[in-house]
Structure 1
Amino acid sequence: MAGNTEPLSPRAKLAVTAGKAAAAVSRAAGRGSGSVIGGRVALKLDPDLLGRLAQHLDVILVSATNGKTTTTRLIAEALRAAGPVVSNALGANMPAGITSALAGGSDAKFGVIEVDEKYLAGVARDTTPKAIALLNLSRDQLDRAAETRMMAEHWREGLSGSKAVVIANADDPLVVWAASSSANVVWVAAGQAWKDDAWSCPSCGGVMQRPGDDWFCGQCGFRRPAPSWALNGDYVLDPHGSAWPIHLQLPGRANKANAATSAAVAAVFGVPPQVALERMYQVQAVAGRYDVVTFQNRELRLLLAKNPAGWLETFSLIDPPPTPVILSVNARGADGTDTSWLWDVDYTQLAGHPIFVLGDRKLDLAVRLEVAGLDFRVCETLDEAVQYAPPGRIEVIANYTAFQDLRRRVGN
């Protein structure tokens, strides 16, 4: 199924070499992986490089508000059963980071690429994907991202006419609206815990009816499509009605949903569900997420939550009270500088947990917890929070840059 394999032009080769050199300099200077700066340099020298690097690959794009890094990793593991894979495994998901990742995969058969929601249409245009996985859409980075209905419209327009097989979550009305412009859609019943961004119909604006697990618009008839794949407890149901057990080292229902979608993607490329799901068991952590680390003679589990939907899923993962919980929130560029989303999170679910608060915006979070009627302690550092935490494993929940700060502090 792979496309044209004509060799890279001299200009493209120069761009790849220069990009790798820039990335190496960045790494040597201690400024991270260098993938973004390397990709930017390469694209400056050859603006069409992303398309050139993708031309010999079966490309799979993964986009969503939550879960795209983990799902990208699960799909990549599953597809390795059918051939070598190149992937942006560290989550650099804009064109520069994607270009850097593909530049390192000249022998690969599959390119499994996580894509930021805003860039999905453009990356799809450049890479001519064979498959596109759409997981969910919810509010995120309020200062940067469009309102969710506008994002769904952007996807819908961008994917119209695409020849890709679109694997989409039938339980998210915004995703269904976006995917419905595509000619070839595989629907997966992956669930939707967070519904606060999908009460109005994306098609006509009417009020969405939600009896049980179903949904439909009472005004225009837009409704949940019949899924051919489904998550059912600890099993994936395939289109033939067979139930395949999900065995993951990653916790929580959301990751089972990610595995169900990943199995549906793998099947497009001929990897059977049993093989795909067995391979997914290899994934223990994803870019530090879910890692359990030892710090100051205490066990800490590191959990990432970037927006209300993500926090809701994360609360369902943590050990019950009186397990201590550390919460850390920043509002830097990569997080979004608007923290008003904190008011959409139901922090009363943390009642009974000793809570410790840190991060650049610890006072914003403290006000939110005060209003929720919770007991908490504001701390200046992770070290201080761990020192005050009562015995037992500590659950640490942080948004994006706060999570990176914590990983650096614990040496992860």
Structure 2
Amino acid sequence: MAGNSDPLSPRAKLAVTAGRAVAAASRAAGRGSGSVIGGRVALKLDPDLLARLAQHLDVILVSATNGKTTTTRLIAEALRAAGPVVSNALGANMPAGITSALAGGSDAKYAVIEVDEKYLAGVARDTDPKCIALLNLSRDQLDRAAETRMMAEHWREGLAGSKAVVVANADDPLVVWAASSSPNVVWVAAGQMWKDDAWSCPSCGGVMQRPGDDWFCGECGFRRPTPSWALSGDHVLDPHGSAWPIHLQLPGRANKANAASSAAVAAVFGVPPQVALERMYQVQAVAGRYDVVQFQQRDLRLLLAKNPAGWLETFSLIDPPPTPVILSVNARSADGTDTSWLWDVDYTRLTGHPIFVLGDRKLDLAVRLEVANQSFQVCDTLDQAVQLAPPGRIEVIANYTAFQDLRRRVGN
């Protein structure tokens, strides 16, 4: 257990205590959870603190462009069947936030940690994980994230020779290429709706062939590995060919895929699929995502979509027309300041929905919708959009900081 056989050094204890004090002060001042600033202070005082805190834990890292917060929650629920879990459940996924989370888990056996794609290699080096889950790679935050193949290469180099069991999505060529440098990989057929980042082979640059659900490079022979776990409709198929029903309160195909990957991770630690999948039913919403809230006598469902892959999955969740849809897009530093990705999203899927547009970049979005021949209204506030929306539940889709703004406005 953490802290038992090898207690933290005096310096590490001081770092943890100082970090907690700063985090508490930040919360008291109404500046959020304080986990990031607390972790930064702790790491300044002891740069090796993350490695020290991880020393006695079975660490599971989860990284992807889409779905990592939800999958982290699902894995954490599943592993609680085997022992106490510490996790960065609110999504603070860079080293400072991760350090804060681990500092709060002194009696934990497992640490289930969401990691920003850019930091995966470094966090894996520090925490010596037993398992790493890799879900997908797609374009995101274009102003500062490297393009997807460079990110895959960063993962590939960082994970080469890792002792961890890597649970990886066999349907994403970029993830397969990144994970192939690891000696111990469990392949999961989790599916991939968004394919526009993987038309060329990450290994040689050749054109990828995609017959049906399969894929391969016609030039170098790089191909989809044979999965041992698979998502099949509403079931997870395990390596023995048994089908286990997925029980989720979270909507959509993407979350079933997250559950399939989570079941494969849980099995690494001896939690059977049936137990893992039953426990995942506890998760109703993840940091406000999928919540249905009441606002101005209306039901609003809050959906987060940060990049083209996420918007594509989200469009498949919404109620059919004429359900009203509110779209909100910001371009602050946490979102990425480049909104050119809006042109990669197929907004014709919203045809027939009354659309209302909000956010710092509502005019960028309006131009994009105009080109997609959608009818929409630009609004200044959520209140105005809700008043203009026709009757029925309203689907609200927003990117990262726009989503936080909306949650504050509805008191969620």
Return the offset for 1:160: 0.5
Return the offset for 1:110: 0.2
Given that 1:140 and 1:306 are in contact with CA atoms closer than 8 Å, whether structure 2 keeps it comes out as yes
Measured in 2, the distance between the counterparts of 1:210 and 1:366 equals 34
% identical equivalent positions? 92
Given that 2:2 and 2:106 are in contact with CA atoms closer than 8 Å, whether structure 1 keeps it comes out as no
Return the offset for 1:10: 0.3
Measured in 2, the distance between the counterparts of 1:3 and 1:247 equals 36
Provide Cα deviations, 1:356-387, integer angstroms capped at 9, x if missing partner: 00000000000000010000000000000000
In structure 2, the gaps of 5 or more residues are: none
Return the offset for 1:83: 0.2
* Partner secondary structure for residue 59 of structure 1: strand
Partner of 1:332: 332
Partner of 1:53: 53
Measured in 2, the distance between the counterparts of 1:143 and 1:169 equals 26
* Partner secondary structure for residue 402 of structure 2: helix
* Partner secondary structure for residue 143 of structure 1: coil
Partner of 1:296: 296
- Normalization by structure 2: what TM-score? 0.99
Provide Cα deviations, 1:22-57, integer angstroms capped at 9, x if missing partner: 000110111000000000000000000000000010
Return the offset for 1:5: 4.0
In structure 1, the gaps of 5 or more residues are: none
* Partner secondary structure for residue 283 of structure 2: coil
Are the structure 2 counterparts of residues 230 and 3 from structure 1 closer, same or farther at C-alpha, using a change threshold of 3 Å?
A: farther
Measured in 1, the distance between the counterparts of 2:364 and 2:31 equals 29
Given that 1:206 and 1:219 are in contact with CA atoms closer than 8 Å, whether structure 2 keeps it comes out as yes
Partner of 1:130: 130
Return the offset for 1:279: 0.1
Return the offset for 1:3: 11
Measured in 2, the distance between the counterparts of 1:295 and 1:382 equals 10
Given that 2:2 and 2:53 are in contact with CA atoms closer than 8 Å, whether structure 1 keeps it comes out as no
Measured in 2, the distance between the counterparts of 1:158 and 1:79 equals 26
Given that 2:72 and 2:114 are in contact with CA atoms closer than 8 Å, whether structure 1 keeps it comes out as yes
Measured in 1, the distance between the counterparts of 2:171 and 2:38 equals 38
Partner of 2:257: 257
Measured in 1, the distance between the counterparts of 2:101 and 2:220 equals 43
Partner of 1:167: 167
Return the offset for 1:76: 0.1
Are the structure 2 counterparts of residues 35 and 3 from structure 1 closer, same or farther at C-alpha, using a change threshold of 3 Å?
A: closer
Return the offset for 1:109: 0.2
Are the structure 2 counterparts of residues 115 and 4 from structure 1 closer, same or farther at C-alpha, using a change threshold of 3 Å?
A: farther
Given that 2:304 and 2:398 are in contact with CA atoms closer than 8 Å, whether structure 1 keeps it comes out as yes
- Kindly report which structure 2 residues correspond to 1:97-176, keeping only aligned pairs within 5 A, or say none: 97-176=97-176
Return the offset for 1:319: 0.1
Given that 1:5 and 1:55 are in contact with CA atoms closer than 8 Å, whether structure 2 keeps it comes out as no
Given that 2:95 and 2:123 are in contact with CA atoms closer than 8 Å, whether structure 1 keeps it comes out as yes
Given that 1:3 and 1:55 are in contact with CA atoms closer than 8 Å, whether structure 2 keeps it comes out as no
Are the structure 2 counterparts of residues 300 and 92 from structure 1 closer, same or farther at C-alpha, using a change threshold of 3 Å?
A: same
Partner of 1:232: 232
Measured in 2, the distance between the counterparts of 1:368 and 1:219 equals 37
Given that 2:3 and 2:106 are in contact with CA atoms closer than 8 Å, whether structure 1 keeps it comes out as no
- Kindly report which structure 2 residues correspond to 1:35-50, keeping only aligned pairs within 5 A, or say none: 35-50=35-50
Measured in 1, the distance between the counterparts of 2:12 and 2:34 equals 19
Measured in 1, the distance between the counterparts of 2:302 and 2:2 equals 38
Measured in 2, the distance between the counterparts of 1:3 and 1:224 equals 43
Measured in 2, the distance between the counterparts of 1:7 and 1:144 equals 39
Given that 2:2 and 2:107 are in contact with CA atoms closer than 8 Å, whether structure 1 keeps it comes out as no
Measured in 2, the distance between the counterparts of 1:14 and 1:43 equals 11
- Normalization by structure 1: what TM-score? 0.99
Return the offset for 1:207: 0.2
Given that 1:324 and 1:393 are in contact with CA atoms closer than 8 Å, whether structure 2 keeps it comes out as yes
Provide Cα deviations, 1:82-108, integer angstroms capped at 9, x if missing partner: 000000000000000000000000000
Measured in 2, the distance between the counterparts of 1:192 and 1:375 equals 29
* Partner secondary structure for residue 168 of structure 2: strand
Return the offset for 1:161: 1.3
Provide Cα deviations, 1:238-287, integer angstroms capped at 9, x if missing partner: 00000000010000000000000000000000000000000000000000
Return the offset for 1:2: 8.5
Given that 2:64 and 2:137 are in contact with CA atoms closer than 8 Å, whether structure 1 keeps it comes out as yes
Measured in 2, the distance between the counterparts of 1:197 and 1:3 equals 44
Are the structure 2 counterparts of residues 2 and 205 from structure 1 closer, same or farther at C-alpha, using a change threshold of 3 Å?
A: farther
Given that 1:2 and 1:58 are in contact with CA atoms closer than 8 Å, whether structure 2 keeps it comes out as no
* Partner secondary structure for residue 302 of structure 2: strand
* Partner secondary structure for residue 132 of structure 2: strand
Return the offset for 1:4: 9.0
Measured in 2, the distance between the counterparts of 1:366 and 1:358 equals 9
Given that 1:4 and 1:55 are in contact with CA atoms closer than 8 Å, whether structure 2 keeps it comes out as no
Provide Cα deviations, 1:144-197, integer angstroms capped at 9, x if missing partner: 100100000000000001100000000000000000000000000000000000
Measured in 2, the distance between the counterparts of 1:59 and 1:210 equals 35
Given that 2:169 and 2:190 are in contact with CA atoms closer than 8 Å, whether structure 1 keeps it comes out as yes
* Partner secondary structure for residue 196 of structure 2: coil
Are the structure 2 counterparts of residues 119 and 80 from structure 1 closer, same or farther at C-alpha, using a change threshold of 3 Å?
A: same
Query: For the aligned residues, what is the CA RMSD?
Result: 1.0
Paired residue total: 412
Measured in 2, the distance between the counterparts of 1:17 and 1:274 equals 40
Measured in 2, the distance between the counterparts of 1:325 and 1:30 equals 31
Measured in 2, the distance between the counterparts of 1:287 and 1:191 equals 24
Measured in 1, the distance between the counterparts of 2:20 and 2:407 equals 25
